[in-house]
Amino acid sequence: MAILNILKDGDETLRRHCRPVEKITPRITRLLDDMKATLHKANGVGLAAPQVGVLRRVCIVECEPGELIDLINPEIIEMSGEQEEVEGCLSVPGRWGITKRPAKVTVRALDRKGNSFTVNGEGLLARALCHEIDHLDGVIFYDKCVSMLSPDEIEEN
């Protein structure tokens, strides 16, 4: 597994819409493996393919250690409630903000073997799923911020 370069805010790739994965190939599974290694190295919760320069609808989320979720062609099929929490991004280091997200989501996706599955998320998992799926559409978390936090406010939270 390789550690990939995480693109930073300002790179136009982060604003592009990703294409669906038509066929799960060894290249896609290698991408998932490399994204996992990169996520762990960066101590993140989620990572989307455009953040590593690949414009495909692929992302991973790991809110709890050892509970990695690979998502290929994910789509939110149900959402409810609302939460406002602090959010940041590996592509936007040092910047944090309060975002408004659904409290609960259901996402349908394919796994690395091409099997369709759904995942239900609440709290942090719901936020992480929404955040990574947003990346696939060229949306960065601060586009949805209610307010950005100052360095002093970050330390308080």
pLDDT in tens, 26-80: 999 999 999 999 999 999 999 999 999 999 999 999 999 999 999 999 999 999 9
In a domain, 7, yes or no: no
- SS3 helix, strand, coil % of the chain, rounded to 5? 30, 30, 40
Quick count: other Cβ atoms within 10 Å of Cβ 79? 17
CA distances from 141 to 26, 54, 144 (A): 30, 19, 6
Minimum mean pLDDT among 67-76, 89-98, 146-155: which range?
146-155
Report the domain count for the chain: 1
Tokens, residue 121: 């998320």
**CATH code at position 35:** 3.90.45.10
Is residue 12 within 8 Å of residue 60, measured between CB atoms? no
Q: Note the pLDDT of residue 29.
A: 98
In a domain, 104, yes or no: yes
In a domain, 133, yes or no: yes
* Confidence category of residue 130, pLDDT binned at 50, 70, 90: very high
By annotation, the residues acting in catalysis are 132
Q: Which helix (H) or strand (E) holds 40?
A: helix 26-42
In a domain, 3, yes or no: no
Q: Note the pLDDT of residue 155.
A: 61
Query: How much is the mean pLDDT over the chain?
Result: 96
Secondary structure (3-state) at 44: coil
* Full residue range of the structural domain in which residue 127 is found: 12-156
Secondary structure (3-state) at 72: strand
Q: What percent of the chain has pLDDT over 70?
A: 97
Q: Note the pLDDT of residue 151.
A: 72
In a domain, 103, yes or no: yes
94 secondary structure, DSSP code: T
In a domain, 88, yes or no: yes
Q: Note the pLDDT of residue 1.
A: 87
In a domain, 4, yes or no: no
